């Protein structure tokens, strides 16, 4: 059964780092980071390619703060992904501010907080990474995917 996991969250929350730590945790899987692509069509093409070359589970990390971002991805893969799960990583303002400063991108804080507000209105599971290491956050995401898989019926 082909499954798609969209891992969303604002800048600075740890999506890319967690995605990197998810690589190799699941058999027949691919983990993609939308930051590695230039456009939505490129992201969708990479997702399709991952499924068409044998991945049973594909995880994509991206902001996904609004339906206008995640719904086109889900719709464009409905012929390949039999199930989909959206999980958002969130963090406190202080954690986002610290992480963005550490990355040398403090100017992104206002944008990140705006995306966080949008995400908090979405009906998806959230994992608060404010006090988690990247490995602990990846373990939480792994556990959420495993729980979701166990309920597939």
pLDDT tens for the 153 residues of the chain, in order: 899 999 999 999 999 999 999 999 999 999 999 999 999 999 999 999 999 999 999 999 999 998 888 899 999 999 999 999 999 999 999 999 999 999 999 999 999 999 999 999 999 999 999 999 999 999 999 999 999 999 875
Q: Which CATH class is domain 3-141?
A: alpha beta
pLDDT of residue 142: 97
- What are the residue boundaries of the structural domains of the chain, listed by start? 3-141
pTM metric for this prediction: 0.94
Contact status, residue 150 vs residue 83, Cβ threshold 8 Å: no
């Amino acid at each position: 059964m082909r499954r798609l996991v969209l891992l969303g969250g604002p800048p600075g929350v740890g999506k890319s780092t967690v995605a990197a730590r998810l690589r190799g945790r699941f058999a027949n899987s691919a983990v993609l980071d939308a930051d590695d692509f230039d456009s939505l069509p490129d992201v969708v093409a990479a997702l399709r390619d991952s499924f068409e070359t044998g991945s049973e589970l594909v995880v994509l990390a991206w902001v996904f703060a609004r339906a206008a971002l995640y719904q086109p991805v889900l719709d464009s893969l409905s012929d390949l992904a039999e199930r989909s799960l959206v999980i958002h990583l969130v963090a406190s303002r202080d954690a986002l501010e610290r992480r963005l400063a550490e990355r040398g991108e403090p100017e992104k804080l206002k944008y990140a907080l705006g995306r966080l507000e949008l995400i908090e209105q979405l009906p998806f599971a959230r994992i608060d990474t404010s006090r988690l290491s990247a490995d602990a956050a990846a373990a939480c995401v792994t556990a959420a995917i495993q729980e979701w898989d166990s309920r597939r019926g």
